[in-house]
Amino acid sequence: MDGLRRIKDWPEGERPREKLHQRGADSLSDAELLALILRTGDAASHTSAVDQARLLLQRFDSLARLARAGSAELCQIPGIGPAKSAELLAVFELARRLSAHCLQPGDPFCSAETVFQRYRNQFLHYNREVFLCLLLDTKHRLIREVRVSEGSLTASIVHPREAFSPAVRESAAAVLFLHNHPSGDPSPSTEDIQVTRRLQQAGDLLGIRMLDHIIIGRDSYISLSQQGLLT
């Protein structure tokens, strides 16, 4: 078993670091990449860094769930203390920032698909429903992104007053709302549809056009505009 010997005692071609340099990072498994971050295993259980990485992946079921774990959860794993948990949290945060190809101020809104592709990685790591508002100018270019609310595991709490206040302050001509479903299924709930209708009514009263409400799931999205729920 790998855990019965140190990684530096493995054949050179099997060591994660040497393997990375010889074949590239994409040749490494998730466990091997995590092992390079952990660097050392657990001396108490005589396991290698790779074994410890495998234990992390098994305990959290997937790399995505591991990336959402907090420090307290990580420190429950044998051999993972404050230092290693901090390294893991830092790496996953960097990955989130790098992969969050969100709209930047001045970028135009093109389609629901574009929004999904740019925000899916950001929302992937949220355990709760997060409701965002994209403030747009007359040419549908992004002015600013605003987090309106953060809800429970099953529902966001969104009030039209809170949703449109930033748009009024910024003199936005249009808005686009989006939120995630932590379950991964973007199918709109009854509440989602009701909120969408209330938001559109508020926008009509304020003279601010609501372009869409996009629900983001794990691998897909639903545009309520495309579903015919916006008139």
pLDDT in tens, the chain (231 residues): 444 456 665 655 567 888 888 888 888 889 889 888 888 887 777 788 888 889 899 999 888 788 888 899 999 988 899 999 999 999 888 877 766 555 666 777 778 988 888 888 788 778 889 999 999 999 999 899 999 988 865 556 788 999 999 999 999 999 999 999 988 899 999 999 999 999 999 999 999 999 999 999 988 999 999 999 887
Q: Are strands 142-150 and 130-136 parallel, antiparallel or unpaired?
A: antiparallel
CB 40 within 8 A of CB 17: no
**According to the model, what pLDDT value does residue 11 have?**
53
pLDDT in tens, 138-190: 999 989 999 998 886 555 678 899 999 999 999 999 999 999 998 889 999 99
List, edge to edge, every strand of the sheet that includes 221-223: 142-150, 130-136, 174-180, 209-216, 221-223
Both tokens assigned to 25: 């990072």
The rounded mean pLDDT for the chain is 85
Q: Residues near 90 by Cβ (< 8 Å), separated by ≥ 6?
A: none
Scan for tokens 């929004």, then name that residue.
Answer: 115
Domains, the chain, in order of start with CATH, read 2-99 (1.10.150), 112-223 (3.40.140.10)
pLDDT one-digit tens code per residue, 80-93:
999 999 999 998 88
| pTM as predicted | 0.60
Which pLDDT does position 3 carry in this prediction?
43
**Contacts (Cβ under 8 Å, ≥6 apart) of 29:** none
**Residue 192 burial (C-beta neighbours within 10 Å; 0-12, 13-18, 19+):** buried
Quick one: pLDDT at residue 221? 95
CA dist 224 and 81 (Å) reads 45
